[in-house]
Structure formats: structure tokens, C-alpha cells
Amino acid sequence: MFEDPEEYFSEEGQLDIEGRLRILFPLLDKSPEDGALSLSELEAWNVQQASDESVGLQDTKGDEGA
């Protein structure tokens, strides 16, 4: 994975899309791991990302609405 934010970009300062895809693809290709992405795999990943974001947005101090 990219450890340094500068690794997200090429030497020309452009977003390193190939590098990002190399990291993301194995995370998405789950069922079955066949080298292709299905709609169901993309949907599962999208739901997981939304769940992760909603957990991060929850009130952790217990003062919601105060």
C-alpha cells in the first residue's frame, strides 16, 4: 500500500491510477477471486465503504444532540 501521500502521484505530479488500481483490485476481487470484478463484488465493496464511513461519523463522545 501507499505509505507516503507522495506515492499517490507520479513523478509528473499526476495521480498514479495504475498504482491505485494495483492496490484496490485485490481488495475488490473477492468472490470468486478470478481476476475479474463482478457487479456483486463492486456492490459489496461499496456497501462496506459506506458502512465504514457511517461508523466513523457516529458520535463517540455521547453528546449527540446536546
> Cell triple for residue 7?
506515492
Q: Distances in Å between the alpha carbon of 22 and those of 8, 25, 55?
A: 12, 6, 27
Over the stretch 43-63, which tens digit does the pLDDT of each residue have? 998 998 888 877 766 555 555
Q: Are 30 and 44 in contact (CB under 8 A)?
A: yes
Number of H helices, E strands in the chain: 2, 0
Percent of the chain topping pLDDT 90: 14
Q: How far apart are CA 8 and CA 3, in angstroms?
A: 9
What is the value of pTM for the model shown? Answer: 0.56
Q: How far apart are CA 25 and CA 14, in angstroms?
A: 20
Q: What is the pLDDT of residue 55?
A: 74
Residue spans of the domains in the chain: they are 5-54
